[in-house]
Structure 1
Amino acid sequence: MRQNPSFVLESPDEIKRLVRENPWATLVADTENGIVASHYPIVLDETSDQLSILTHVGRPDEQLLELGTREILMIVQGPHGYISPGWYDAKPAVPTWNFVVAHLYAVPEILSDEENLRVLGDLVDFFEQHMPEPRRMNGTIENAAYASRISAGTVGLRFTPTRVVAKSKLSQNRPDETVDVIIRELEGDGPYAQPALAAEMRRVHDIRRAARD
């Protein structure tokens, strides 16, 4: 991913935040049989001081990705959207795309069956916590027994990146007044409205303005 000093995302806390708020990742492996990609939910290991991510794959994806034998790329994509040059001033301009993304590289650690079952429970709890009546994986004896059976069809992973390339391209190179226009357009009801992207831009630019002032 091409980097620009204006858009580099270096803060470990910000990358953790990106993972927490966008818990659906793409795993890419350059295997002996060519490039393979899979998509899975992820959750941060909140007990680790490092950036460490827990997930699982369904069998036989662990073989297709050749997990544990080579470096894997995990892509975590945040809010993104089209930015029209009509939202700038009257000077000549071209459109762009604003986005937040992290490319994380590691050789995944394969978890034991016991650890995998715990990770599956953590994943379910992470998503079910927002439901009015959460269905926990281990909520009942019957459910726990069922989960234990189906977990045999999955392989748990711990992904602790040894290399991180992250980018937050949110019009940081534009004047404040232009940024304000872009945010309003993204918050509106036009064809390229993206409220989540607008909220992320507002958050980042408020922090930058506070630091500058």
Structure 2
Amino acid sequence: MYIPSAFRIEDKTRLSAFLGQHSFATLITQDGATPFASHLPMLFRPDLGEHGTLIAHLARANPQWQHFAEGREALAIFHGPHGYISPSWYETAPAVPTWNYAVVHAYGIPAIFDDPDRIVALLRETISFYESSLEQPWPGELPAEYLDKMIRGIVAFEIPLTRLEGKFKLGQNRSAADLQGVHQALSHSAHADDRTLAEFMRAEGHVPTTAS
């Protein structure tokens, strides 16, 4: 991924937090010479391996798991907030439109595991992760026969990461006045995605203290 130095994120704590908050990923592998993509929730374990490990599952009917046997590196893309940026929001002129966004690319070689106890543990961990923020979390209790059927219908895998690339393009190369104009416009947008991007800018410390 092309990453200008101003937008490069290498801090493991920030990358880990991003993968936890934006955990629905696009997993890309190669089927011979053809790229193949699936869209999956993936859990990140930052302390497992030098760069952390992703763990997930996909439907057995999905042919992508067969690509794992080739031992090729896969790419998981985690998307954060993004939005169009109008030059009319800048104090500096002339300027052109752009797109601001946050994304993390995770690379590694997937490995399937088929131990039933480990698969059940993965499913329970996944359920707990996504249910924990709900007012009345679903406990995840299922009849044994139904659970066994579900397990037979999935393929569980992990990806020990060889590298992580973070790119947060949030206008760091612009002046404080330009950043303030962008943040103000996004904050008052009718689109929820724009307002989320504005909040992300603030959380990352790219909003001047005078911004409203």
TM range (shorter): 0.7 to 0.9
Map of 1:96 onto structure 2: 98
Tell me how many residue pairs correspond in the alignment.
Answer: 206
Q: Unmatched 5+ residue regions in structure 2?
A: none
Partner AA of 1:31 in structure 2: D
Closer, same or farther: CA 152–33 of 1 in aligned 2, 3 Å: farther
CA RMSD, Structure 1 to Structure 2 (Å): 2.3
Map of 1:124 onto structure 2: 127
Map of 1:84 onto structure 2: 86
Closer, same or farther: CA 88–190 of 1 in aligned 2, 3 Å: farther
Closer, same or farther: CA 62–14 of 1 in aligned 2, 3 Å: farther
What are the within-5 Å matches in structure 2 for residues 5-16 of structure 1? 5-16=5-16
Q: Unmatched 5+ residue regions in structure 1?
A: none
Residue 10 of structure 2 aligns to a residue whose secondary structure is coil
Residue 91 of structure 1 aligns to a residue whose secondary structure is coil
Partner AA of 1:126 in structure 2: F
* Kept in 2: contact 1:36–1:65 (CA 8 A): no
Map of 1:55 onto structure 2: 56
* Kept in 2: contact 1:185–1:193 (CA 8 A): no
Deviations 1:85-143 (A, max 9, x none): 11112511111111111111111121223222211111111111122221122x36x3x
Partner AA of 1:127 in structure 2: Y
Closer, same or farther: CA 118–192 of 1 in aligned 2, 3 Å: closer
Structure 2 length as normaliser, TM-score? Answer: 0.87
Percentage of identical aligned residues: 29
Q: CA deviation at 1:55?
A: 0.8
Closer, same or farther: CA 20–193 of 1 in aligned 2, 3 Å: closer
Q: Distance in 1 between matches of 2:100 and 2:56?
A: 27
Q: Distance in 1 between matches of 2:103 and 2:187?
A: 21
Q: CA deviation at 1:192?
A: 8.3
Partner AA of 1:150 in structure 2: M
Q: Distance in 2 between matches of 1:65 and 1:178?
A: 49
Residue 6 of structure 1 aligns to a residue whose secondary structure is helix
Partner AA of 1:198 in structure 2: A
Deviations 1:5-55 (A, max 9, x none): 100011111111111111100011122161111111111226636422211
